[in-house]
Amino acid sequence: MNLLQVENGASSGNGYPVGRGQAWFAFAMTMALMMVDYLDRQVIVSLFPHIKAEWGLSDTQLGALVSIVSVTVALAALPVALLADRWSRVRSIVVMATVWSLATISCLFTRNYGQLMSARALVGLGEAGYGSVGAALIAGLFPARLRAGLLAAFFASASVGSVLGVMLGGLIAARWGWQAAFGVVGLPGLLLALMYLKVRDYRTVALAPAQPESGGVAVFAVKSLLRSRTTLWVCLGAASQLIVVSAIWAWLPSFLNRFHGMAPDVAGVRAALVVLIGAAGSLVWGMVVDRVGTRRSRLRLQVMAGMCVLTMLVLGATFAATASELPNGAQFMLIALGGFLMTCTVGPAAAIVLDVTHPGLRASGAAVLSLLPLTRKGRWLLLAGLVLLAIGTLGGPKHLRERFLTMGNPEDPTVKERVYMWRSGLAIWREHPVLGVGPGELKRVYERYALPEAVKKRTGHVHNTPLQMLVERGALGLAAWLWIWGAFFARAIVVLRRLPEEATSERTLVVGSLAAIVGFLVAGLSEFNFGDSEVAMVAWAMMALPWVVQGTVEASSRRMERA
C-alpha cells in the first residue's frame, strides 16, 4: 500500500494524487462497502416480526436492537475518525469492515436477546466512522472538480444498501429463517475488506501551519473541531433530524405489518419505497439549500430549520390520525411525503461542516453523512428517475403495482417456480461440475431432477443465466463467461477514461453501454435472457458501442490534425 503526500487538495499534474486508475478503484471499493455497511445495519428491520414471534420481545427491546448500533456509532465515530485522520484511511477501513462483517455473521449464532444485543453493538463499533473516513479518502484521491458528484454517489449508496437490507431480510427470513439473513448479508463485507487491501492511501495531511504547541495532536484536533460554533450546532441539529429518519426506517415495516395487516415481505417493499423517496428528497433539498445559499449563506441554516419543523408537522399529524380520520392509502402517501421531507439536512449539513473543517481533519469533520449535489444535469436525471419510479409503482396500473409488490414474496407462485428450477439446476450441476451436461442438453435431463412440488417438469432453461451456464457448461464454462464480462467492463472503462472531458455526447454513449449491459446481467438473475437470439444481438451491439465511439473520436482527431 503506497502512501502519497496530499496537501490541502494538492495533487499530481492530472489531478489524481495516486493515478486515475487507482483512484477509481478506490472509489468503487469504498462505495461498495458503504452499501454493505447499510445492508448489514438495516437487515434486522424486516426481521422484527419474526424475532418478536419467536422470542416474545417487546417493542422497546426490538427498538433497542437498532438504537444500540446508532448509539455505538455516535460514541465511537469521532475517536475512530481522528485515528484514521492521523494514521491510515485504508487500514482503518479494512479493520472496520472486518469487525462489522464478523459481528453481523455472529448474529446468526445468537440464542437469546442479550447475545443478539451484544452482537449488534459490535456491528455499530465496526461501522463507527466509516462514512466519514470513506468520504475523506474519496475527497483526497480525486480532483476538486469531481468530488461533489463522487461523494453524492458514495452517500447515495447508503440508501441503496438500506433498501437491499430491508428487502433481502424479509425474503431470506421467509425462506430459511430470520437468523440465516445475518449470515447471508455478512459475507460480502469480509470479501470486500480483503480486496480493500489493494486500495492505495495517501500520506496523512500535516496540520501545519497551525501546529499544536502543547497537548499533542489529539488535543489540537479536538480544539480545531470544537472551535467552530457552526459545526457544533449543525451536527447537533442534523443528529436530531437523523433520529426521525432512523425511526421511520426502523419501524415502518412493523407499523405496516401490524396496523395495515401487510405481510412482512410486502411491508418491507413499501418501506423500501419510502427510503428511495427519501433519497430523492435529499437531492431536492440539497439543490434548494445550495441555490438559496448563493445569495446569503446564513439562509441555508434557516431553510433547513424550517424544513425540520415541516417534517415534524407532517409526520406527527399522520401517525396521530386514527383509521377513521385517515384511510390506509392516504396515510401511506403522507408517510411518503414525510419521508421526502425528513432527509432535508443530509446534503446541506455535510457540505457546511466540510466547508469549515481543516483539510487534515476531513474524516473527523465529516460527522454527518450526506448526499451532496450532483452535476446539474446528472442530479435532475437521477431525481426524475426516482420520482418516476415512485409514481409508476404507487400510482400505476393495478397489475403493475401488484407485480412489483410480489417480486420478493416467496409465496408468489412464479417466485416459487423459479426457486424450484434453481434447486433442480444446482442438483444437475453437482453431478456434472466441471463441463456440465452440454449446450442444449438441459431439456433432455431436467425431468429426472424436477422437484415433486414443481409445476413444470420439463424445461430447457432454469430462469437464471449464470446458473444456466453452470448447468450446461460447468464451472469452466461459467468462469469463461464471467471473464468475458469482466474484460468488457475493464476495457470499456479504459475507453471512458481516455475520452476528453468535453466529449459529453461520446462519454454518455459509453456510460449508456455500461448501464445497458448491467441491466442485461441483472435481468439474467431471474431470466435466461441470453437464450433469446434477439436479446443476445442487442447485448453484443451494446458491448461494441464503446469501441465504435472510440474509433469515431480517434478518426475525428486525425482529420483535425491533417487539417
The band of 351, judged by pLDDT with boundaries at 50, 70 and 90, is low
pLDDT reported for residue 201? 79
Residue found by looking up cell 479494512 in the block: 94
Q: Is residue 307 a contact partner of residue 344, using CB atoms and an 8 Å limit?
A: yes
Return d(Cα 563, Cα 560) in angstroms, integer.
5
Q: Which carries the bigger pLDDT value, residue 125 or residue 367?
A: 125
Give residue 47's identity as a one-letter amino acid code.
L
* Cα 273 to Cα 560: distance, rounded to the nearest angstrom: 50
Residue 99's alpha-carbon distances to 115, 315, 330, 356, 402, in angstroms, are: 16, 36, 42, 31, 40
Residue type, 6: V
Task: Identify the weakest region by mean pLDDT among 60-74, 252-266, 376-390, 500-514.
Answer: 376-390
Q: What angle do CA 480, 483, 484 make, to 5 degrees?
A: 90
24-44: average pLDDT: 89
User: 371 vs 29, 263, 350, CA distance in Å?
Assistant: 18, 32, 8
Q: What is the mean pLDDT of residues 300-328?
A: 77
Average pLDDT over residues 453-474: 87
Confidence of residue 105 (pLDDT cuts 50, 70, 90): very high
Mean pLDDT of 261-280: 75
CB 350 within 8 A of CB 357: no
When pLDDT is averaged across residues 506-524 and rounded to a whole number, the result is 82
Question: Which of these ranges, 385-399, 432-446, 492-506, has the smallest mean pLDDT?
Answer: 385-399
Q: What tens digit of pLDDT does each residue of 402-450 get? A: 665 555 556 677 778 888 888 888 889 888 888 888 888 888 898 888 8
Q: Predicted confidence band at 99 (pLDDT cuts at 50, 70, 90)?
A: very high
Cα separation, 169 vs 166, in Å, equals: 5
Q: What is the pLDDT of residue 389?
A: 54
Report the pLDDT value the prediction gives residue 537, as an integer from 0 to 100. Answer: 80
Task: Assign 203 to helix, strand or coil.
Answer: strand
| Banded pLDDT at 104 (limits 50, 70, 90) | very high
pLDDT at site 95: 92
298's CB contacts (< 8 A; 6+ apart) are none
Of all residues in the chain, the percent with pLDDT exceeding 90 is 6
State the pLDDT at residue 98. 93
Check whether 310 has a pLDDT greater than 50: yes
Residue located via cell numbers 497551525 = 210
What is the Cα–Cα distance from 293 to 512, expressed in whole angstroms?
34
pLDDT of res. 207: 53
Lowest-confidence region among 66-70, 284-288, 363-367:
363-367
Predicted confidence band of residue 368 (pLDDT cuts 50, 70, 90): very low
Count of other CB atoms within 10 angstroms of residue 394: 16
Instruction: Tell me what the mean pLDDT of segment 295-309 comes to.
Output: 77
Q: Is the pLDDT assigned to residue 277 strictly greater than 70?
A: yes
Cα–Cα distances in angstroms (integers) from residue 206 to residues 7, 86, 359, 532, in the given order: 7, 9, 9, 59
Query: Is the model more confident about 408 or about 318?
Result: 318
DSSP collapsed to 3 states, 453-514: CCCCCCCCCCCCHHHHHHHHHHHHHHHHHHHHHHHHHHHHHHHHHHCCCCCHHHHHHHHHHH
Query: pLDDT grade, residue 245 (50/70/90)?
Result: confident
When comparing pLDDT for 560 and 176, which is higher? 176
pLDDT at residue 13, as a whole number: 43
pLDDT band at 102 (very low <50, low <70, confident <90, very high): very high
Maximum separation of any 2 CA atoms in the chain, in Å: 80
Q: What is this structure's pTM?
A: 0.51
Q: Which residue has the higher pLDDT, 478 or 531?
A: 478
Q: What is the pLDDT of residues 118-176, one digit of tens each?
A: 999 999 888 887 877 887 787 777 775 566 556 656 766 787 787 788 778 878 888 88
pLDDT of residue 244 exceeding 90, the answer is: no
Domains in the chain with CATH codes: 3-405 (1.20.1250.20), 414-562 (no CATH)
**42-56, 240-254, 322-336, 433-447, range with the lowest pLDDT:** 322-336
Pairing of strands 201-203, 3-5: parallel
374 falls in which pLDDT band (50, 70, 90)?
very low
Residue 294: what pLDDT? 62
Residue 382: predicted pLDDT: 47
Residue with cell 405489518: 257
In this prediction, residue 371 carries a pLDDT of 32
Q: Rounded to an integer, what distance in angstroms lies between the CA atom of residue 406 and that of residue 495?
A: 40
Cβ proximity of 264 and 46 under 8 Å: yes
Other CB atoms closer than 10 Å to residue 455's CB: what's the count?
11
- pLDDT computed for residue 363 by the predictor: 47
Contact residues for 55 (Cβ-Cβ < 8 A; gap 6+): 112, 113
- pLDDT for position 101: 92
